[in-house]
Amino acid sequence: MAYKIQVMIVEDERVVALDLKLALQQDGYQVVGIVDNFTDALLLFQQQHVDVLLMDINIYGEKDGIECAAEIMKLREVPLIYLTAFSDAATIQRVKHTRPAAFLTKPYDIANVRIAIELALHNFATAIMNKPTGSIEYTKTIADNKPTETATFLKMDEFIFIKHMSRFVKARLDDIIYAESDNNYVNLITNSQKFMLRLTLKNFIEDLQFPAMLRVHRSYAVNINHILSFDDVSIKTEKLEIPIGANYKENFFKHFKLR
């Protein structure tokens, strides 16, 4: 199941904010809320899962959008895009320490906002590729199982973002049912989609850093949350009955309190 990328808007001009919300929703994004001041922005960010933050600099209250963005980034770093009428040298200098993904001046074109969001997500993924829980490379497959493209696989919290057809598709980690090795490739299976990852099964498990994904065979890893039943030799999931390899049996059964 794919999930919409969730966008938060901090903007003091209500009409501008509503127009932006409508345009983003038409593009398939989900706007989790619109706020116009520092206090409400921090509260909304803590209450919602935000994937991208759109921030005006001139907002209501004593603290402006730059100060607001800085405090939000202390809570959790997300791609940050400024949408503002301020473009003077002093403002540009101030925004640098918040490390924005983009800085768009008003009046802006919605097409530029779309591009900024796509690049923000892509650059955010690239920035963490060298971290232990960072991105991995994959190729998506279609019905004939032929790889169609190479792209970035970004993990954020309990979600993954998969680049497909120039857009990031959001999916929940727990929707992965099992992974199947095919030499130096891994077929990744969910209820609704199939992906081919260009890496080994061992590297996939290490890079994903998802404890529920267990190696149970030299060719298979299974999400324990999708196990319907099992015995000494095999595991049944919604999609496939998976064998349990002799070298992996002991580790698999450690995850269950058998009596």
The tens digit of pLDDT for each residue in 135-160 reads 433 333 333 333 333 434 667 777 77
Same domain, 102 and 166: no
CATH number, domain with residue 248: 2.40.50.1020
Question: Does any domain span residue 17?
Answer: yes
Same domain, 122 and 177: no
Same domain, 94 and 174: no
Same domain, 29 and 59: yes
Question: What share of the chain in percent tops pLDDT 70?
Answer: 83
Question: Does any domain span residue 245?
Answer: yes
Same domain, 7 and 57: yes
Same domain, 171 and 55: no
Identify the residue with better confidence: 7 or 136: 7
Question: Does any domain span residue 123?
Answer: yes
Same domain, 158 and 114: no
- Last residue of one domain, picked from the residues 127, 161, 196: 127
Same domain, 7 and 119: yes
Same domain, 21 and 86: yes
Looking at residue 143, what is its pLDDT?
A: 32
Please report where in the chains the tokens 């921030």 appear, as a residue. 55
The tens digit of pLDDT for each residue in 194-212 reads 877 777 888 888 878 888 9
**Count of structural domains within the chain:** 2
Residue-wise burial string across 225-244, b where 16 or more C-beta atoms lie within 10 A, e elsewhere: ebbeebeeeebebeeeebeb
Question: Does any domain span residue 258?
Answer: no
Question: Does any domain span residue 155?
Answer: yes
Looking at residue 258, what is its pLDDT?
A: 60
Same domain, 157 and 203: yes
Q: For the residues 1-8, what does the mean pLDDT come to? A: 80
Q: What is the pTM of this model?
A: 0.62
Closest CA to 175 of 186, 161, 185, 189: 189
Looking at residue 81, what is its pLDDT?
A: 96
Looking at residue 210, what is its pLDDT?
A: 87
Region of residue 28 (phi > 0: left; psi between -120 and 50: alpha; otherwise: beta): left
- Last residue of one domain, picked from the residues 73, 99, 127: 127
The tens digit of pLDDT for each residue in 75-128 reads 998 999 999 998 889 999 999 999 999 999 998 888 899 889 988 887 776 655
Same domain, 123 and 140: no
73, 188, 195, 203, 249 from 137: Cα distances, Å: 27, 12, 11, 11, 29
Alpha carbon distance 115, 109 (integer Å): 10
Contacts of 154 (CB under 8 A, 6+ apart): 121, 124, 125, 128, 134, 135, 160, 161, 162, 168
Average pLDDT over the chain, rounded to an integer: 83
Domain that holds residue 111: 2-127
Same domain, 107 and 161: no
CATH number, domain with residue 53: 3.40.50.2300
Q: Tell me whether residue 200 is exposed, middle or buried, using C-beta atoms within 10 angstroms of its C-beta: 0 to 12, 13 to 18, 19 or more.
A: middle
Question: Could you tell me the pLDDT band of residue 172, with boundaries at 50, 70 and 90?
Answer: confident
